[in-house]
Structure 1
Amino acid sequence: MDTIDDNNLYMLRKSCMYISIVYIFMLTISGFLLDNFHVSLIHLSPVPLLVIYLFINIYTLKNKGQISTAKTAAICCTFYFFLGVILAAIDIFEAPAGQAIWLPIAVIALPMLFIDRTYKYCFEEAVVLSILLIFSYIAKPIDGFIRDLYISICAYVISFISARIILEMRARETLSMKEVTRLSALDKLTHVLNKNALIEHMDCYFEKKKPEESCAMCVIDLDDFKYVNDNLGHSTGDMLLERVGQLLIENFRAYDIVGRYGGDEFVVVMPRMSDENILHSRCTALQMFIGDINLGGEHRVTASIGAVIGSGDLKRETIFSLADDALYKSKIIGKNCCTTWVIEDDIVDRDSLLIMSKEKHEAVARLFEEEGKRFHVIHAANDDEALRVVSRYHDQIKIIMIELDIDEGLGVFAIKYLKQRESFAKIPVIAVVNTKKAEAYAKELKADDILAMDLPDEEFHNAVTRLSGR
């Protein structure tokens, strides 16, 4: 509908411009060619209409693409209706003894200027022609009225036929353009959206999405795709990508946004998805189907997935970055893994300290109280929660304190991830340990500082001050 509305408003602007030019020209030459011609008030009646629509056209031009279909129809129909009434008045009152001609010509021309449904054309034209015939019946003798009735019927029939032909041609043209647009938006190998079309569709969705509506985004990356290209050949790699594209089309909903972001990476946006369990099931099912792809050798095809669910006013760039961070976690775990996060839309507008500990025990509570004076303090109970928080608020987080427990594996993966992920590597990490073994492992993981758990609170405060610069 946007294209039709834009076309109607464009043709309205052109009509006003050309009508103004032609009308001035005809008034000028009429004085030379017609005897006893003089300009009357009826001849000047189109001027106020054209002046008003000059300002309306400026408004529509400034707000291009933002005017609703109903408003577009009202703007265009109002102009053409009043123009028809004016032409009817000129036909009847300026040449009472002559044949009505200007309004019938305008009726025939209307389908070329304004796109509408056929039954609406019939109604709109019937109204203005009825006005013409009422004027004619009142002001002309019966034979003049009959001639006007005859030419009105002819103009009405010709307009109806031309409207049908023009609408059919425009419909075919629109379908052809839609097909061309659809094909140009598809990746030729995988038959899902290409990168440019994918970003355009995602931006359009996130602009229109209501804040309370949840959605999910999945970033899917084929593991060891370079091995496939290098050892099994590029034709095999292309076949794999084509098959994955087919699986994505088959396994996601028709209104989900599915595209190839580049290389062997695909993105899926799932509107109105709020259940983490369903999302995880969808992703693991897709991994299973991808694993069933047979490349004719011993290589097993796998895929890593990062998926997030978010709501609120999250932008496309933000939710993509979160999904990409979740994907990186899946890659570090060992590939063929799926990481799903539910993202909170809480606003953090000050420098933050993230504390990761198994329990929010007394020492952590004291840290919350003490450091809360200069930081927004966030607590995470495990590695996955800590990484989700860092991914969401990495611009605000100035320092991270992680409890490292080798026996339970607590904190090991989080520190490893943070130091390997380039976008997070500059955030200082303090490892809190309770054994020499844990201390040695923290050094191996390249923690920025290592503190024993039983140190006085002042030592923690000093370490936070030193590393955060506050």
Structure 2
Amino acid sequence: MTVRAMFHICMELWGIFICLICACGIFIATPHKTRRTRIKILMQIACMLLLGTDALSWYFRVDADETAYYMVRISNFSVFCINYIFMSFFATYVWLTVSKHQHRKPAALRAVYALSVIGILLLIITQFTGLFYYFDDHNLYHRGNFYLLSQAIAVLGIALCLFMLISYRKNLDRIIFLSMMSFFVLPVLATIYQALAYSFSLQCLAIVISTQIMFVMDTVEMNMRFHSQQAAYEKARYEAEHDGMTGLLNKEAGWKHMRKYFDRMDSHDEAMLMFVDIDDFKTINDTYGHTVGDFWIREVASQLRHIYRQDDIICRYGGDEFLALIRNTASEQVLETTLGMFFQQLARTSEQHGQDVHCSVGVCRIAAADGASLGTGRADGDAIGSVDFDQCVAQADLALYETKRFNKGTFTVYNYDRSQPAPANIRA
């Protein structure tokens, strides 16, 4: 075996290994196999067969025994035949990429299929007449008088694929278009070179390399499109759940998350649900203008978000009112400390702007199942049953109403399931 033959075989074996990895990657990465995906896998299989049969032809050439006699003829026939079949696969891949689910196939696609069939029929005739190629007594390959016809068929098929791609250019993203255009460069150059000078199997290698480049760029574009769609979906979902002015959850989303939390609560869980309302907001709008009113809505939202934890649920309930669920705590000290910070920061900001702005807060406190902590006379360990979210909202709303009626700028706490407010009306 010559050094050139060994070089060919080594390159083609590496190519088969790369094609196998790519085919497995395409198969694993696409759980739902579309027709386009199946064609991509078939093209990878065709590339592996093309390289394998060409490697066999290089391995058995010049050897004159009976096995080599048949293997050279079978492998050379297979190389030409797979080239024509691959041309049909590629034309189908182009059409599936550009068609956008159109069912009517263009004349160019049918012409490529026809050329492939004609090429294979002439190839069969070649085995008896030496039309495209023949073998001498030393089992050495030679080109026939009509060898250029075999290359012309391939070039014409590629030209039709290129025509189809350009005709439907508007249906393609720029990266996909460029990746498919890149396929035409190496095979066409290799075909022209191989038609003029016979040395290396450049045509086979060019087809395989161009296919891998095209599929890599196609995969990159698909990933970019997927991430773009994911980003658009996340943005749409965020906008659907969040208030545009404050960035907090809107009423519907906040209500949903809070109700979901309450549905999972048992007798050992605790929380605090509170309404926050900007006092005399209409007066602020009338006195300072709606721009200033919007500033204070954003300011209150920012302070609430800063004071409470990320896993607490805060939403803009509507207008100048906010609803917050402080999870996993019913500590009055925590409540007094956090609301104290909130009132103090609000007072500082109000003073800096020379405006009298303050908030009233109503709280419904849900303590754990401990009779002493609730002040209800229950024994330790008695269950308090499920926590009714609507009742908690109603009690927090009553607590807010009492604060605004009797002592604005403070907060009032109702313990869950109590008819009387707890003595916790504290001025910050």
TM bracket (short chain): 0.3 to 0.5
Instruction: Select the structure of larger CA radius of gyration.
Output: 2
Query: TM-score, normalised to structure 2's length?
Result: 0.43
Query: TM-score, normalised to structure 1's length?
Result: 0.39
